Structure 1
Amino acid sequence: MNVTHTLSSFHMLRLYFFISLMCLVRSATDETCPSFTRLSFHSAVVGTGLNVKLMLYTRRNRTCAQAVDSAVLGNLNVTKRTTFIIHGFRPTGSPPVWMGDLVEGLLSVEDMNVVVVDWNRGATTIIYTHASNKTRKVAIILKEFIDKMLAEGASLDDIYMIGVSLGAHISGFVGKMFDGQLGRITGLDPAGPLFNGRPPEDRLDPSDAQFVDVIHSDTDALGYKEPLGNIDFYPNGGSDQPGCPQTIFGGLQYFKCDHQRSVYLYLSSLRGNCTITAYPCDSYQDYRNGKCVNCGTPQTESCPLLGYYADNWKDYLRKKDPPMTKAFFDTAEQKPFCIYHYFVDIITWNKNIRRGSITIKLRDKAGNTTESKIDHEPAIFQKYHQVSLLARFNQDLDQVTTISLVFSTGSIVGPKYKLRILRMKLRSLANPERPQLCRYDLILMENTETVFQPILCPKSQM
C-alpha cells in the first residue's frame, strides 16, 4: 500500500512538473519578441505561399516588436504618425540587413509608430514573377489594417509608407485604394522588371499619396527608370553607384549593391551627420555641367533634401503644373555618402582655345586634404572667358589654406600645353556665406601639379 501510494505520488509530481514546464514554455513564448521571418534558400527554390506579418515598433519598444493585425492594433497610438516599411523580392529568404537600422533611425527622428510589413513568405522565391504577382494581395491586407486604424480615430494624413523595390509598388496600390489621400509614400528604387512601361494603375504613381518621393539608384537593371513621384531623385545619374562592384567578380554585391544604395542613402538622412542636397534639373549632364545649382540662393526656392526630410519641398511643388520634378546629385563611395559642391571659376588668357580637365585639391590648417577631378567632359577655355566648373569633394574643409591645380588634355603623346590663368575663384555652394578664395596670374604646365596659397577675393568680385 505504501509502495503504491509512493508511486502514485511520484506520477503526480511528474504531472505537476510537466504542467509547470509547459506553462513556463508558453509564458516564454508569449514574451518572446516576434521577429522577421527567416527562410532558407531551399524555401526560395520550392517557393512560399503568402503570409503577411505586421510588427509594431514604438519608442517604448524600440527593439522588441509587438505583433498586430486588422483585429488587434496593440500599442499603436492612432494620434501619431504611422510609418509602414515594406520590403521587396527576397530571392534567398534572408531578412533585409537594413531593416533594423531603418526602424531605429525613424524612431530616433520622430515619436511615431513603425510597422514592419513582413511578407517574406511570398517574397521568397527564385521566380521573380511569383513574388510580383502577390503585391496586390499584400496591399489588400494593409488596407484592412489601415481601415481598422481609421475606425479607431487615425487620419490618412498621418500614414506614411516606405516601400523598397516591389514594396514601392505595394505602397502605390494601397494609396490607390484610398484615392491618393495617404500622407506620403517614399519609393526606394521601385522595381523595374514587369513594371517598366506599365500604366499608372499598375505601378506607383504621383497621385497615390499627397506627396510621393522616389530615389532611383539602379535604373539600368533592377530599378524603374522613369519618374514615379512628385520628386524623383537620381543619385549619380541613377545607375552605377560609386563604391559598388562594376563586374560580376564582385559576387552577389554586383547584383544588389546599386539597388540597395537607395535604402542606405535614405538612412543617411536619419543619422544627422550628412544632409544630402539635390538639384532640380532636366538631365544629369546639365547638373554635372553646373547649369542647375542655383536653388538655395536668396532669389530662388530652397534646394530639395534627400530622404526623410524631402517633404519639406512639397509646398513648392504645389505651385508647379504638373507637380513633378527630377533632381540630381552625386555621392561619395562610402557612408554617409555626402558630397560637398564648389564652383571653380577660371578666366584664362591663352591666345588659342584649350580643351581639357582640371583636378583641384584643397588642404586646411590641420593637413586634411580633399580632391576633385572635373573630367566628365572636356572644359573649353577661351581667352578672357570665364569657365565655371562644378567640383565635388568628399570633405568640406572649413578653412582652406592651400590649393593645387592640375590641367590635362588627356593626350598621352604630343606636346605639353600650358594653361595661363588670369584669375581662379573658389566658392562653396553648401555654404555661400563663406569667404570666396582667389588667385591671380597662374601658369599651369600640363599634368604638373601647381600648389599655391589663395587670398580672399575682393568684394567687388563676389
Structure 2
Amino acid sequence: MLRLYFFISLMCLVKSDPDETCPSFTRLSFHSAVVGTGLNVKLMLYTRKNRTCAQVINSTVFGNLNMTKKTTFIVHGFRPTGSPPVWMEDLVQGLLDVEDMNVVIVDWNRGATTVIYNHASSKTRKVANVLKEFIDQLLVKGASLDNIYIIGVSLGAHIAGFVGKMYNGQLGRITALGYREPLGNIDFYPNGGLDQPGCPKTILGGLKYFKCDHQRSVYLYLSSLRENCSITAYPCDSYRDYRNGKCVNCGIPQKESCPLLGYYADNWKEYLKQKNTPMTKAFFDTAEEKPYCIYHYFVDIITWNKNIRRGSITIKLKDKAGNITESKINHEPAIFQKYHQVSLLARFNQDLDKVATISLVFSTGSVIGPKYKLRVLRMKLRSLANPERPQLCRYDLVLMENIENVFQPILCPKLQM
C-alpha cells in the first residue's frame, strides 16, 4: 500500500481573461516545455446548460454549478509538448450525455508542461491542495462528498489519490487511468495490463509507440460512455486463468453480474461490500480499434478420440447477411480426452445475433510431422454476453488438422448443460 504524504500550500486560482468569451484549455508550445512553466490552476465548468462554453470558476465563483448534483473533476497528466489532451472534449461531452452533472476540467497545463517529468510530478501535491480548497467550499455550500468524483489520468491519477487521502477515503469515487499496481476497490487489466492490441510494438511506430498503450485506458473509459459498447470484465486472480476460461462464473445466469469497465463500474461496489472484498482484480480483452468491445462465447467440445489430442481451435461465425467474425483460441493448447468436455473461451470482435454457419479448424501447431484428426462428439456454442440466447450445437464432426470444416448448427436441447 502506498503511503501518501502531503503538505499545505496556498495557491491562487487563475482568473479568466475578461476578453475570452468561452474559456479554453491552456495551450502551450514545446518552447514552454523546454524553458519550463510556473504552476497555475484553472477550473473550467461544463454543465448541460453550458456544455460547449466553459465557465471559469473558483472558490468564490461557482457559475452554473449545482451543489445538489454530482461534480466530476477531470485531471490530466504530464504534458511534454504543451498541447491540450486530444481526448478532453470527448470525455466532457460523454459524461454530460450519460448524466446531468457538473463536469470540471482541472487545467494545470502551466505546471504539467515540461520535458522533465520530475518537474511536473513535483507539482501534483500543490494541485491537490487547490482542489481540496475548492471542494471544501463546495461542502460549505451544501455539496456532499458522496457526489464528488475525480477522474485522473497519468499524473492526474496521483493528484486524485492525494485529494482522496486528504478526505480520508470519503470521496464518492476516484477513477485512476494510468497505473499498473492494484490500488482500488476494483482494478481493471485490459489484455493483461501490458501491451495493447493495435499499438506499435517497436520504436519504429514513432511517438505513438511511447504513448499508445498508456493512453488506451482513456479511450477504453470513453467507450463505456457510448451506448453501443459495454465492456464486461471478469474478476480473476490472473490473466492466464481468465484466458483459460476459469473466471467467467459472473456471466452465468443465477450468478452475480460481471463488473463493467469505465463509468458504470461503480454499479459493482455494492457487490464488493456484500462480499467484504477490499480489492478485486478484473481482466478482459479488447479489439484493436474503437469501440474496442469483445464478445465472449464458450465453445464446449466433447471428443471421442482414443488417444489424447493437444491443440488449438479457430472458430468462425457467419450470419445470413454475410457478416463474419473469427476467434483463434490459442492462448494455451487445449487437452482433448475421450468423453471429457473442454470449455474454450472464444472472443469475437462482432456479436452476431443469428448465426447461420460455423466453421472450426483444429491445429497442433506442428509444421512437420503427421496430421491428426479430432473426432468431435458434440460442439456447443453459448454466449456469455447474452446468456438468454439459444445455444447452438453440432454432433459427430471429424476435424482434419488445419482443414476448415464449415457446417450449419442446430439448436441444442433445452435441458442440455
TM-score grouping bracket, smaller chain normalisation: over 0.9
Which residue of 2 is the match for residue 251 of structure 1? 206
Which residue of 2 is the match for residue 192 of structure 1? none
Which residue of 1 is the match for residue 158 of structure 2? 169
Runs of 4+ in 1 over 6 A off after TM superposition: none
Which residue of 2 is the match for residue 451 of structure 1? 406
CA offset digits 1:267-292 (Å, max 9, x no partner): 11111111111100000000000000
Distance 2:363 2:181 in 1: 36
Q: Out of 100, 108, 117, which is 1:111 matched to? A: 100
- Secondary structure in 2 matching 1:439: strand
C-alpha RMSD of matched pairs (Å): 1.1
CA offset digits 1:59-118 (Å, max 9, x no partner): 111111011111211221111110000000111111000000000000011111100000
Which residue of 2 is the match for residue 66 of structure 1? 55
CA offset digits 1:180-235 (Å, max 9, x no partner): 1111101112xxxxxxxxxxxxxxxxxxxxxxxxxxxxxxxxxx322010000001
Following TM superposition, by how much is the alpha carbon of 1:163 offset from its aligned partner in structure 2, in angstroms?
A: 0.4
Q: Are residues 1:372 and 2:361 paired?
A: no
Percent identity, aligned pairs only, is 85
Following TM superposition, by how much is the alpha carbon of 1:296 offset from its aligned partner in structure 2, in angstroms?
A: 3.6
Which residue of 2 is the match for residue 204 of structure 1? none
Q: Are residues 1:56 and 2:45 paired?
A: yes
For 1:144-223, list aligned pairs within 5 A.
144-189=133-178
Q: Are residues 1:410 and 2:365 paired?
A: yes
Which amino acid is 1:291 matched to?
K
The TM-score, its normalising length taken from structure 1, stands at 0.85
Which residue of 2 is the match for residue 212 of structure 1? none
Which residue of 2 is the match for residue 437 of structure 1? 392
More helix by proportion, 1 or 2?
1
Q: Out of 93, 108, 112, which is 1:123 matched to? A: 112
Structure of higher CA gyration radius: 1
Which residue of 1 is the match for residue 6 of structure 2? none
Distance 1:127 1:31 in 2: 31
Q: Are residues 1:139 and 2:128 paired?
A: yes
Q: Out of 77, 82, 85, which is 2:66 matched to? A: 77
Q: Are residues 1:328 and 2:283 paired?
A: yes
Which amino acid is 1:269 matched to?
S
For 1:384-403, list aligned pairs within 5 A.
384-403=339-358
Structure 1: segments with no counterpart, 5+ residues: 1-27, 190-223
Which amino acid is 1:97 matched to?
V
Which amino acid is 1:419 matched to?
L
Following TM superposition, by how much is the alpha carbon of 1:322 offset from its aligned partner in structure 2, in angstroms?
A: 4.0
Following TM superposition, by how much is the alpha carbon of 1:446 offset from its aligned partner in structure 2, in angstroms?
A: 0.8
Between 1:82-91 and 1:67-76, the stretch displaced more is: 67-76
Which amino acid is 2:48 matched to?
R
Distance 1:80 1:457 in 2: 49
Confirm or deny: 8 A CA contact 2:253 2:387 kept in the other structure: no
The TM-score, its normalising length taken from structure 2, stands at 0.94
Following TM superposition, by how much is the alpha carbon of 1:323 offset from its aligned partner in structure 2, in angstroms?
A: 1.8
Q: Out of 83, 92, 97, which is 1:94 matched to? A: 83
Q: Are residues 1:273 and 2:262 paired?
A: no
For 1:345-360, list aligned pairs within 5 A.
345-360=300-315
- Secondary structure in 2 matching 1:137: helix
Structure 2: segments with no counterpart, 5+ residues: 1-16
Which residue of 2 is the match for residue 24 of structure 1? none
- Name the structure, 1 or 2, with higher relative contact order (CA <8 Å, separation 6+): 2
Distance 1:115 1:237 in 2: 31
Distance 2:24 2:352 in 1: 43
Following TM superposition, by how much is the alpha carbon of 1:151 offset from its aligned partner in structure 2, in angstroms?
A: 1.3
Distance 1:344 1:83 in 2: 41
CA 1:322–1:455 in 2, change beyond 3 Å: closer, same or farther? closer
Distance 1:277 1:230 in 2: 17
